[in-house]
Amino acid sequence: NINDGIFICKNGRLEYVNKAMKRIFGYSKFKMEGLMLSQLALPDYQEELNQILHLNSSYNQLLNIEIECLKKDHTNIHVEILCSYVAREKVIYGVVHDITDRKQIQKNIVKAIILTEEKERAYFSKELHDGLGPLLSAIKLYLQWSERPNSTNSRVEIIHKAEDILEEALTTVKEISNKLSPHLLNYYGLTSAIQSFVDKVEETTSIKINFDSNVNIRLGNEIEAAFYRAVIECINNTMKYARAQNITIILNYSGDQLQLHYTDDGIGFNLQETLSVKKGLGLYNLQNRIQTIGGRINMYSSPGKGVNYNIVVKL
């Protein structure tokens, strides 16, 4: 493809680039030769790119990398790099394809899906709470009203059993409503909502959760919903698969960014293998949800070493 950039890189430094490569990165009037390949990546991704290249520098391998880079005018660009590392020569031959438009389309699609999901959750939450809830309460009142002195003992016993069932139904309705659209998140914010969920988990399981947050302001519905769902997904995964005893959740707000650090001491898993099969769908959803709000997530895990997730969103 004539629109694809081509480069040759030796010892991490660009030795040759074609015109398309210069155009992609906005260097048409500037020299690119001599730059370190990692310099083209965003600062947050430079170390990651260097690690990938270093890990594959001891043997010949064809690599396919998607990474966010910085153009000469300091605008962001998403690129796909297909490169071949020739270990003997310590040379990388690469092709660069601009996938910024594709990434934006994917982001818009996922954003639309997430917004639709949140609207549906809010709708069903309202229906359950405002519709079914009062009806069940009314039935309970009628049953209580039927408990008059002239009622037989057997009837009273039946009514008590019915009340117990109705009480359970009402509790279930509230739980479903809260899961679909947590009222604590809507009214009190991210920290309170997460703390409430953490408390419920600790009450019903043997897992110890250490949750620390300095977030005491509202951050917008989209950001709060994404981070809340991310925490719920992580905790649920730990409970279902990890056999963990301890979870640590740190939520840190620093003015220009929000960071979530999540770890557990469970059995861990092979991250690449899990992402490559259907059971990794939850992790993909987690990645997409965070990427949709302009964030990034780094996930680390291996058998016997628990999980370590780090999520960062610039505000």
Which range among 11-15, 72-76, 177-181, 247-251 shows the weakest confidence by mean pLDDT?
Answer: 177-181
pLDDT at 33 over 90: yes
Residue 88 has, within 13 A of its CA and on its CB side, a CA count of 0
pLDDT at 107 over 90: no
57 falls in which pLDDT band (50, 70, 90)? low
Per DSSP, 39 falls in state G
More confident call, 119 vs 299: 299
Identify which of 182, 208, 206 has the alpha carbon closest to the alpha carbon of residue 196. 182
At 226-264, the pLDDT tens digits run 999 899 989 988 998 899 999 999 999 998 899 999 999
5 and 95 in contact (C-beta within 8 Å)? Answer: yes
Give all strands (DSSP E) within the chain, no chain letters: 5-10, 13-17, 61-70, 76-86, 91-98, 208-213, 246-253, 257-264, 296-301, 307-314
264 and 247 in contact (C-beta within 8 Å)? Answer: yes
Q: Rounding to the nearest 10 degrees, give the CA dihedral for residues 197, 202, 207, 213.
A: 50
At 198-225, the pLDDT tens digits run 998 898 888 999 999 999 999 988 899 9
223 and 185 in contact (C-beta within 8 Å)? Answer: no
More confident call, 128 vs 202: 202
309 and 263 in contact (C-beta within 8 Å)? Answer: yes
Q: How far is CA 162 from CA 81, 146, 169, in A?
A: 65, 12, 10
pLDDT at 61 over 80: no
The two three-digit tokens of residue 252, written as one number = 């840190």
pLDDT at 292 over 60: yes
What integer is the mean pLDDT of 135-139?
71
Q: How far apart are CA 76 and CA 72, in angstroms?
A: 10
Identify which of 32, 22, 84 has the alpha carbon closest to the alpha carbon of residue 56. 84
18 falls in which pLDDT band (50, 70, 90)? very high
83 and 91 in contact (C-beta within 8 Å)? Answer: no
